[in-house]
Structure formats: C-alpha cells, structure tokens
Amino acid sequence: MPVFRCEPIADLTRQLLFAPPAKRIEQVRRAEKLHDQIEPQENYPLDFVSFRITGYQTERIEPTVLVGCELLADLRQLIDRLSRSVGMPADPDDPVQTVGELADRLSVSPRTIDRYRRDGLRWRWIKRPEGGRKVIAFTADAIEAFRGRHEARVRRASRFTKIEAPQRPRLVEEARRLAADGATLNQVAARLAKKTGRALETMRVLLESHDRRHPGQAIFPDRVRPLTARQKQLIARALQRRVPIDRLVQRLGRNRAAIYRAARDHRAGGLRRLDIRYVFDERFTAEDAEQAIAPLPIETRPAPPTPGRDPAEAGDLPEALRDLYGRPAVEESPTAAFIRYNYLKHKAFTRCRGLGPHDPRTADMRTIEDTLQRGDRIRRHLARTNLHRVLSVTRRHLVDSPGTSTAALAEWLAAGHRVLAEAVESFPFARGQTFEAFLRWRLMRHFAALPAPAGRAQRRLDDRHLVERITDNLRQLDILES
C-alpha cells in the first residue's frame, strides 16, 4: 500500500476512518472537490485542508504548510482509503466509469489508466449495484480535471493502437535488414518508429521481446544484456574494496561508464529501501526549518572527560566501564538534540523519496548519507549520556533479589540497553515530558515483566568477561562504535 508523503494527512486519514459511514461518504466528496482545486506549485495550510474535508475549524499555534504537489498525492490516498472503507454507493446523478470502461472511452490500455492514477487521476472505490467486491471507478469530474491538465498526453496516447499479429513479422524482417547493414538497436527502433508513427520505446520493446523469445533467430545476438541486481551488488562491493576498474571492465565486457552507473544504481537502491522512522513534528515542514533547528554543538563536541563524571552508581564496576556509566558532570536538556535528530531523519527520508529511478545523482546520495551519519552521532550521544540512568534503574530492581551476581547485572543491563535504544527512537519530545521520566517509565515497565535472576545468571563473571559482554552488547546496538 502506498505511503503518505505528509504525516499530518496520514494522521487526519486515521482519524476520519473512525467516523460513521455516512460521514465518511460526505468527506470523500469534500476531499474530491478539494483535490481538483489544488495547484501543484502552491502551498496550503493544514488548517485549510482539514476544514475543507471535515467542516471543522481548528487553530494551531504553529500552522503547518503543505506543498501542493505532495498534498495532491496524499489527498488521492485519503480518498482511496476512506472510500474503500465504506464503499461509495451508486448515484445516478454522479455517474462513474470503471477502469475498463474508461480505457475503452479514451482508447488506451488499462495499464495506461494505472499510470494516469499515479500521475494525478483520482479514483474512488464503489459498490456495484448487483453486489460483489468493491471496484475502482472514476467520476466525470475526476476525468475532466485530469484531461484539463494532461490534454495533450491523453490525446497522444489515444492515437496509439496495439500492434496486430500480421504486422509483427514484417517489422521483425525490416529490423533484421537494417541490422544487417550495421544499424544498432536504437537506430533500428528509431527508424521503425518514424515509419509506423509509433513510440520509439514501443519498437525497442518489440525487438527485445523477439530476441528474448527466439534466441536462435535473434536480430541482435551480440547485444549485451542489462546487468542484474546481483551483478550491480558485486560491482559496488568490488569498487569499495578498490578493485581496479579496468579489471571489472575486462571481466564484465562493459565500459567504465556502465560500471560506475551500475554502482550508482545499487547505491541508490539501497537508500530507497531504507526504513527511516522518526517522530514527526510540524516544525520540520516550515520554510525556515533549517535555520530554526540549528545544528547542535554535540555533533562535534567531544565527550566530557572522565574526571568530570560522578561515579556513585558505577563505583564498583571495572574501571573500563566507569566512564560509560558515570553521570555527566553537566547535563544539558536533551530536547533540542531529539528535535535535531528527528529532523535529520525527516530530511533523509524526504530526500530518499526524491531519488529518481533513472540516473540518480551522486551528490544527492552523498547528502542523504551525510545527513544520516550526523543523525547517528546525535543518537549515540543521547544513548551514551543516559547509560547511567539504565544502570541506576537496573540496580534498584536487582537490590531485592538475593544472590544476584555480575552475570545477572550483565543480563539486565543488556535488556536495559535495548530499552534505551528504543526510547531514543520513539521519545515524543513535543509533549513536554522529560526524556529521563520517559526512559525510567519504559525501563521499569520492561523490568517488571522479566523473571528474577536464576540459573546461569547467578554465577560471577570476572572483570574482563563482564567488560567484554557489556561492550559487545553496546556495539551490537550501535551505541558504541565498532
């Protein structure tokens, strides 16, 4: 299921799904009317959008502004989910057409209609009068609004017809004759496209499909196949290990540009697949967000020196752990750090969605990676400066357990570290609660569900094994760098 581009619209959709069916039907119609009035280049306040859909006026201290092109895509998703949840009834005064009916009317294929939906044609889910499953349909207003914005595209698409079976052999033989004279695939496809009045890509797909189905009679038998995802992965890994580019060129039979392009595609694919989750705040979408959420000194400031720490809780730990679990001498409010951390992830998420599927720019990918690295430094700082709170809560829960040992302490600290890592990711910094209170509540709730230390947790670990176990756990959680 496609995801929303604007988190406020996603929240609004989740709220509207709880409305009665009759109310949802009314809100779908309101959202459809609003969709056709939005201009992609304009900006719109969230209060305005919410009022147009719900009819209720809200007042926000810091109004959220949404970009028109992003809002249009999210309004289509809102209409999709609301109408699917209720099933719009048939209305003689508001006739609709299904995908097949609209394709016949516009003289295009159903796949073209699917592309139109991605590019701005809104739809709704309807109940058929005869019953059965809900189906996608398009209102007359939706069709006219799309045609008004894409008239030339619709008219051009309607001129293309399916290549009939008797015509295919003639095109293949013509392509074979041109190829024998030394023409490349692109040149042959361009000549056939000009001769038949069809798109160049249509001709290219026809010739590639013929060679794939009939390898023994291929028109271009020596043409190099596209690199697979596995080959692109191996190329990227080889370049990271500084394998000479000439060796890759010789082994794969590609030029240097193709090798670098494959590595770039693999890198972009990895960024698109990243699951970037963050706590959204309305300030992130403000025009002056970058200036208002200024970079924090903690990104470059070294950790406080060991003598400046309070070793009260960590006094009986090995010396190698006292600096980790000692209380920082001067603690600053972490709220600004949490805002900056989530804002950086918001920036990276937005840029990942903006990576083009074809020829992604290296500069854009480097910016995304740098943004994520800056966020990681803040995340590690937040986790490191709160380790003493994990130790404090852990000791309070173990103090009443008789016979607890360093093995039990290591096990419970490992559990506390996981809770700390999750708390850093999910802390709702805008609610006015302190992170200390939030973390303590999460830790106490988690520890209350754990069984009392027993069995192997009763044995004592020497200092070396205790240090290794704890530091290994912190590295696995990426709180300490490897």
pLDDT, tens digit only, all 482 positions of the chain? 457 888 889 989 999 998 899 999 999 999 999 999 999 889 999 889 999 999 887 766 557 888 898 899 999 999 999 999 988 887 777 889 999 898 888 877 788 888 899 889 999 999 877 767 889 999 999 999 998 888 887 877 666 666 777 888 899 999 999 988 888 888 898 899 888 877 777 788 888 888 888 888 888 877 667 788 888 999 999 999 999 999 998 888 788 888 998 999 999 999 988 989 899 888 888 888 888 786 555 544 444 444 444 444 566 788 888 888 887 755 556 788 999 999 999 999 999 888 877 778 899 999 999 999 999 999 999 999 999 999 999 888 877 655 457 788 888 899 999 999 999 999 999 888 899 999 999 999 998 887 766 544 456 677 888 889 899 999 999 998 86
Residue 97 main-chain phi, psi, to 5 deg: -130, 140
What pLDDT, on a 0 to 100 scale, did the predictor assign at position 426? 92
What pLDDT, on a 0 to 100 scale, did the predictor assign at position 423? 94
Task: Identify whether the C-beta of residue 461 lies closer than 8 Å to the C-beta of residue 407.
Answer: yes
- Residue type at 177 in one-letter notation: R
Cα–Cα distances (Å) from 88 to 73, 81, 280, in that order, read 20, 11, 32
**Domain locations in the chain as residue ranges:** 7-158, 167-217, 229-272, 282-476
Residue 224, both tokens: 């190099």
pTM for the complete prediction? 0.57
137 - beta bridge partners?
A: 98, 124
Question: CA-to-CA distance for 209 and 102, rounded, in angstroms?
Answer: 28
What pLDDT, on a 0 to 100 scale, did the predictor assign at position 339? 92
Task: Identify whether the C-beta of residue 120 lies closer than 8 Å to the C-beta of residue 110.
Answer: no
Rounded to an integer, what is the distance from CA 308 to the centroid of its chain?
41
What pLDDT, on a 0 to 100 scale, did the predictor assign at position 95? 87
Task: Identify whether the C-beta of residue 360 lies closer than 8 Å to the C-beta of residue 272.
Answer: no
What pLDDT, on a 0 to 100 scale, did the predictor assign at position 221? 79
